[in-house]
Structure 1
Amino acid sequence: MQSTDKTTIAMHTSIPGTHSQELLALRQKHVPRGVSNSVPVFVEKAEGAVVVDVDGNRMIDLAGAIGTLNAGHCPPRVVAALKAQLDQYIHPGFNVLMYEPYVRLAETLNALTPGDHEKRTFFLNSGAEAVENAVKIARKFTGRRGVLSFRGGFHGRTLLAMSLTSKVKPYKFGFGPFAADVYRLPYPNYYRAPLNMTPDQLDDALLSRMEEFFISDVPKEEIAAVIMEPVQGEGGFIVPSRRFVQGVRDICRKNDILFIADEVQTGFGRTGRLFAVEHFGVVPDLMTMSKSIAAGLPISAVTGRADVMDAPEPGEIGGTYGGSPLGCVAALEVIRTLQEEHLVERANVIGDIIRTNLEQLQRQYPVIGDVRGLGAMMAMELVKDPVTKEPHPELTKRILAECYQRGVVLLNAGMYGNVIRFLSPLVITDAQLEEAFAVLRGVFADLLG
């Protein structure tokens, strides 16, 4: 999919082109408006970090289906495994007739996830479904009902997952009432910490607030679990300190509360470790996984301590399509791809390239208030003034629109919609990264002078 002049991007029309416009008309007629679309094009072909739309425009993908494509679009070994599986069987239904890929993938994740204790894994369809089931299991094991999540966290759009999610619009507004026994605590955003407060001071204040919560709000004896994204995704790629995450873990241990790591966006090499929680020296009781687990196939997983995972009785967890054979074989090949192509290590190289480019832009353009992230999960936050740190979502939208018109796909994030996040496939080349950043530099120059 590379062009002969050694560049990747080739834009033949404005966005959207004629064929995309025709399909957009059908989309608007037949699909509800509540399903959002970041870029107004329809894809015809995709490979690695490159997508070609139905009008022949070739673009570099720095969004990766919101972090779903760490192994890239259409990884060859995944495609081959799926074709082979289709010739055997598609879906006997694990709850009825079992099949080997399911147990092989469970075995693999039990070995790869943090901790050397005995574990169990089962499979579902989406990140939200994994979150809901992790909470179900935690409640069953502890006999408690309460769940703590964090401000800025995103855990999905289904009822319980939406209740755990912090951002009101567009995820929660008008969709109440929400699930009961869900409580929210503040999360450390060091860029927006109170004036003159150091990161350690902010950590101490928030950990103290957590301890006080059990006195002022809900007793510890009623809290089953704390759920945390090791790096907040939709919240704006907020990275907590090792000290804070370990402090939360210690409070959980002290009060017999389960610690759930939501690795839906951060998992499978994105942050430069196979799982982001490894950066913090914490072994969770339960983990939720999805997105990049299977290169775009709909599958998710919950992995956890064997004694916790075995708390539900037969039939109390599961689902008709959970752990489909196609998803399982795709996931096994994604894991092999990550390992054999050293993509976890590659994430750190990508992250260094992105950070260097963003910090260079930041020195030139003060509207970039903060550059942050772990590994290849990087972001920049745009502000109207570097002193007041007033968010600048309008500029963010203009930059994103100009980027896709010039052949680079990016997404925003953050509570105020003013964060641009980078989630490129980990198979992206250095040349493609440089080409994408040349576009981004040109956009900044044209919009800001």
Structure 2
Amino acid sequence: MVEAKRPFGTGFVRLVAVLAFAYLLLLPVSQGTILLGVFSLMALAALLTYTQTKRVIPIPIAVIVLLTLLLGAFGLAVGSRHEDVFNYAGTYIGAPLLFFFCVGAMGQETIRILLKTGAIVTVISGAFILIYVGGQEGILPKIFPPALLELTGAGYGVQDGVSAVRFYGLSTLAAAGPMWLASLFVRTDALLPNIRLRALAAAMGIAGAAVGGRRAIILTLVLIPLVAWAVKRATTKRRTGPTTINPGYVIAGLVLGLAAIFLARRLIAMPVVIDTWRAASTFFAGPGSDISADDAIRNYQADRLLGAWTESPVWGHGFGATMAGYLREGFLPSRFELQYHALLMQTGIIGALIVLAIAVIAWRAAVKAAASRPDLLPSLIVTVCAGAAMLIANATNPYLQAPAHMWAIFLPLAVINMMLREPRADSDVVVVLPAVRTSSARYLKV
């Protein structure tokens, strides 16, 4: 087979993709000026890819783009009278546009490289947290220079017996940890890294989250195996013949089951696990007698946001809206901890219906992509789990207020987009060719 000539700038595009993705994972909420420069490089790399490949966007992804922009435009229009409304334009218009632009440009090889980069960065983040906390506790020597600690926003303390770690990249584990944990339940395909790297990333992600003391991340780690099973069931065709079970899975299951039996009491007794269970039960069942100060604040905020929503249930109050007599942060009065309550208050029932439509279309696109490229189903499951984990964690922590965290939402869309656009598995040589319109597929030119 004759290998096709690589498009001009391919090396530059992939280098930018790797460096930009690594930066988003390691430093997602620091140095806004640098982050803007990273976004600019991402846009340039995507533009160069489009000019060389003439790639197209499948109709379902294009509809999701339009609905996302509609949600942003609606919230901005309703809230046009508010002072902070323009700051929301970057979150609901600018950042989604940039990520959608990159989603449409990504090919199979780029996604493969990004997934490997994500696994490596997860290992680095988890190891950094373990070594840093070990140094603070006197278990390990302190090896990180002050300049590096300042750059990464590192800090450490203990609250109610639970370690509280500050580290810019810790919030990345809300999606990366569950993503690589889910990857242990699927086989390796053309996009996923090898099982050894995935297992190491899962271990470091879990360890970093446990030591970091973030309850939302612990909760997603507990829930994500169930999410992975549900996604696999929904996207896999039912077999009519006899079911075969790999003996290796049986042995691994027995080993894990025995380990769980012996370690269950110790794990359940961990302060971070107890704290996570208390927070989850408070969120769903209401406050109890031992509610923490943070949970009390969230419960009060939920009541205030729902009360404000009832004042304008259909249209909402728009982005930038504030509540009289309530300030979460004095310098950001329109920013709230509870993102979904806030979105309902801001965009009302209309906004909720738009979000529901986006979710339904995205899910149907995922099912269609699985049927189109069953060989890449493992990667689809893993990246969907990353997005689901970030959405779960975002319920009580405003992760998606930071545009850099949106990678977890748009990475599965990039996989779905590529699977719909390239319905047949590639050969052993990656060849980038101009897209051809066929009668059985519908696309939009970019």
Q: Verify same fold: TM over 0.5.
A: no
TM-score, length of structure 2 as denominator length: 0.29
**TM-score normalized by structure 1?**
0.29
Higher strand share: 1
